[in-house]
Amino acid sequence: MLDTPRVAAFSGHMVDAPDRPTPRFPPKKVEAVRKAIAEQLRKRKIGYGFSSAARGSDLLFLEELGKMGGHARVFLPFPREEFKKTSVGYGWDDRFDKALNAHELVELSAQVPQTDKQPEAYANCNRKILEEATTKARALNEEPVLIAVWNGDSGDGAGGTADVVREWKNEGHEVIIIDISKL
């Protein structure tokens, strides 16, 4: 009997921009986060992933899932090049391009919303990730899991990892927290 690959939704912090006033995911923690993600993917036998592709933990998740032969559906709230300007950069652009070329890409909108509407676009993207992961898991007669790289704080605004964790828990699904503050 073959093991059915498990399904994971993913959410996590971006690597800090150099001007971030309070460090949350400093670049020096990238390797520790990568290892923690890889460990959870192996331990949980994840074969299907649903994520966005911001610099830092999203891209680390996509890279590690790809190394294991897994498949991902990558959701962006708006077009690839515009998302890259808002959520990548700082030396992560090539990794972003490689990850998107290796996995299935879904752009949820053809336009970038005005700055004050962007948090809702990110929140909608996260909801779509959770919905798609749940649908895929049900099709496989499996229970999905959320892997989150998170420091446990409320976050910088709406639509972030704290909201994703809360929503996933409210749905009664398993949450695996990789506590970045302890790495």
Delimit the domains of the chain by residue range. Answer: 6-182
Neighbours of 2 (CB within 10 A): 4
What is the pLDDT, as a whole number, of residue 121? 94
What is the pLDDT, as a whole number, of residue 155? 73
Map residue 41 onto helix, strand or coil: helix
Q: What is the pLDDT of residues 89-141, one digit of tens each?
A: 999 999 999 999 999 999 999 999 999 999 999 999 999 999 999 999 999 99
Phi and psi, residue 134, nearest 5°: -65, -45
Q: Which residues of the chain have pLDDT under 50?
A: none
Neighbours of 137 (CB within 10 A): 21
What is the pLDDT, as a whole number, of residue 2? 61
What is the pLDDT, as a whole number, of residue 26? 96
Q: How far apart are CA 155 and CA 83, in angstroms?
A: 20
Q: How far apart are CA 177 and CA 173, in angstroms?
A: 13
What is the pLDDT, as a whole number, of residue 55? 98
Asked if residue 51 lies in contact with residue 183, where contact means CB atoms within 8 angstroms, the answer is: no
What is the pLDDT, as a whole number, of residue 137? 97
6-182, what's its fold? Rossmann fold (3.40.50)
